[in-house]
Chains A and B, each alone.
Chain A
Amino acid sequence: MTANSEPLSARAKLAVTAGKAAAAVSRAAGRGSGSVIGGKVALRLEPDLLARLATHLDVVLVSATNGKTTTTRLIAEALRAAGPVVSNALGANMPAGITSALAGGSDARYGVIEVDEKYLAGVARDVEPKAIALLNLSRDQLDRAAETRMLAERWREGLAGSKAVVVANADDPLVVWAASSSPHVIWVAAGQEWKDDAWSCPSCGGVMQRPGDDWFCGECGFRRPAASWALSGEHVLDPHGSAWPIHLQLPGRANRANAATSAAVAAVFGVPPQVALERMWQVQAVAGRYDTVQFQGRDLRLLLAKNPAGWLETFSLIDPPPTPVLLSVNARGADGTDTSWLWDVDYTRLAGHPLFVIGDRKLDLAVRLEVANLDFRVCDSVDEAVRMAPPGRIEAIANYTAFQDLRRRVGN
């Protein structure tokens, strides 16, 4: 897997060029960045292009339900200490988008690749990664997603024969179940706030016991592995027991956990934790997430939360009451069309915040908040909500397409 072991074939080169041309046409036509269409054209010309492109790189794959885009950015930043990096930094995380991203990095030594959970096993087979980072697995888009445990099962099968070093979260039983088929695992105690997808043992179906931060199955003995890396407050503990301070511009416990995992991945490539963690400070807003923007003379912090686990992590990082909170939920294709997940989110955590509700499905959210016995106001637009909100920074939490709507409106 060393760099430049084998030059690209003429056909593969042609595929890369054709893919770039298609991407340029797509951009010119105003269809976004063009990265996915470019990748699709390239893959059609040369089906094993992804594998061919990857032979020139030391590849890291990153997958999870939440935090994979941010973690991909953190790892990429850390590895730049060791050499040039190519990455699908904009989150195009299916095979076509990944191919397109890799095709853009002919001088790179490292490929840091975010992969959609459903495609991880296949992409891992194609690109023979040197490391795979697995953060968490939880319910997401239930109207069309595979069952969460089935995803873990597919990861488990896909990783069984992999030569990659798997860097996995010891605190998520589904991730542990998936990763423990791999012969080379580095466990990171990265924490798990959302536990409601892991009360049933993924191995035998027994009821999971979860005293404190520990977990084990009372039936079959499946249990939390001893971790060599850990997140501890504002520090990362390395395998030698040294504590390294985390410097992040990104807020919240979940991002500190992502930094801990990223430091463990960087160490696989010889980048020491201190260097890796210092470099992570560079990462600011990721595709607009966590960005603070000025809108109508107010500061709005934009927070993306796509599923119950994401909402829970977001509640833990917002400013305390009386900071106003704007909530926006849509149920378009990319969000999943079923809104019942709102009932798995503990909105009572928002008690004391003035709440403003917008989005296509504001009425679903209104009923949810009414049943939680919270005070809230339903508004027709972000403009109206911001006008109504009492002074101070506004925390704006939105799911996927609602977040895009919000960014467009507030000019981010």
Chain B
Amino acid sequence: MSDNSLRLVWIYPDLLSTYGDQGNALVVERRARQRGLGVTRVDVRSDQPVPTSGDIYLIGGGEDRPQRLAAERLRRDGGLQRAVGNGAIVFSVCAGYQILGHEFVNDLGQREPGLGLLDVVSVRGEGERCVGDVLADIDPRLGLPPLTGFENHQGVTHLGPTARPFARTRLGKGNGTGDGTEGAFNDTVFGTYMHGPVMARNPQIADLLLKLALDVNALPPVDDRWYEALRDERIAAATRPE
């Protein structure tokens, strides 16, 4: 963090901003400001260089063709890889999550190289699209309450040895591998299939990113009344028998 102002970078809103995931940027920014932090939000279009000096980088979900275009441009740019080399925090969703892995299957049905920032490989699922509410338990070492989100994808993501599952599903498909895993993370890079957007339903994830970026163990509390009410309602709705 520089100049006492958090640099929050939103990657490629022109390509990867289809499923409301810009809400993650809004939630992180809001919760930082509520703690008295200054925030500089940088929205990087896909014809602009990715700055390497950001503290937190967010990438959202998108449709199949924009996903391929985003991967091509991020590989060519190289800025995000350099930022991660500098210790930046990255949180990615759905199409963005797949791009951070070693490879995924693009809109042309071909294997498309990703950025290799997460030790995962994604393929196209054979079955029906995974659509609906998800409830999962986040890896206990992250110290977060249960994960609630909405998934809408056809991807299946396999984790390699240096990626840990972000969560274990109680309801929903998550990584689609059938082993109950959802998302992946390493020290500084996170990926999930959860929309919602995920931070609106799980503001503690936004706080986790802030703590990692600020290198602190705790943040002053904020009024979480509406988030808590929404979480309770969505978790109850997901677990209610049909």
Contacts and interface: CB of A to CB of B under 8 A. Distances in A.
B26 A207 contact: no
Interface string A342-368: 111000000000000000000110111
B131 interface: yes
Interface residues of A, number: 33
16 contacts: A139-B18, A150-B63, A199-B13, A200-B46, A205-B65, A205-B66, A338-B152, A339-B150, A340-B23, A340-B197, A341-B20, A363-B233, A364-B200, A367-B226, A367-B230, A368-B23
B35 interface: no
Most buried by B among A199, A206, A340, A341: A340
Contacts of A372: 26
Contact of A371 (B17, B30, B47): B30
- B-side binding surface: helix, strand, loop or mixed? mixed
Nearest to A202: B65
Given A199-B14, A207-B14, A207-B45, A367 B200 contact: yes
A343 B23 contact: yes
B214 interface: no
A343 B200 contact: yes
Contacts of A366: 226, 229-230
Contacts of A368: 23, 200
A343 B20 contact: yes
Interface stretch (A85-93, A140-148, A233-241): A140-148
B133 to A, nearest CB: 8
Given A338-B152, A366-B230, A367-B226, A142 B200 contact: no
A366 B13 CA distance: 24
A98 B113 CA distance: 46
Contact of A363 (B19, B45, B226): B226
Interface of A: 139, 142-144, 147-150, 196, 199-200, 205-208, 218, 337-344, 363-364, 366-368, 370-373
A403 B229 CA distance: 24
B132 A340 contact: no
Contacts of A147: 63-64
A371 B201 CA distance: 12
Interface in B4-52: 13-15, 17-23, 26-27, 30, 45-47
B158 interface: no
Contacts of A343: 20-23, 26, 197, 200
A92 B152 CA distance: 28
B23 A142 contact: no
Given A340-B196, A344-B20, A370 B152 contact: no
A208 B150 CA distance: 30
Given A343-B26, A344-B22, A371-B26, A207 B200 contact: no
B17 A363 contact: no
A199 B150 contact: no
Nearest to A209: B47
Q: List the 9 closest pairs (A to B, CB-CB), nearest first.
A: A340-B20, A343-B23, A199-B14, A343-B20, A207-B47, A363-B230, A366-B226, A147-B63, A371-B30
Interface residues of B, number: 34
Given A340-B195, A363-B233, A371 B27 contact: yes
B223 to A, nearest CB: 8
Most buried by B among A139, A341, A343: A343
Given A199-B15, A343-B22, A343-B197, 10 more contacts: A149-B63, A149-B65, A199-B14, A200-B69, A206-B47, A337-B132, A339-B196, A343-B23, A344-B22, A363-B233
A207 B70 CA distance: 11
B30 to A, nearest CB: 5
Nearest to A366: B226
A367 B197 CA distance: 11
Nearest to B63: A147
Contact of A199 (B21, B45, B65, B197): B45
A344 B26 CA distance: 11
A146 to B, nearest CB: 10
Nearest to B22: A343
B96 to A, nearest CB: 14
A79 to B, nearest CB: 37
B229 A142 contact: no
B132 to A, nearest CB: 7
A243 B53 CA distance: 53
A139 B152 CA distance: 15
B131 A363 contact: no
A150 to B, nearest CB: 8
Nearest to B64: A147
Contacts of B27: 371
A373 B63 CA distance: 30
B69 A205 contact: yes
A204 B210 CA distance: 38
A366 B229 CA distance: 9
B210 to A, nearest CB: 15
B150 A340 contact: yes
Contacts of A218: 47
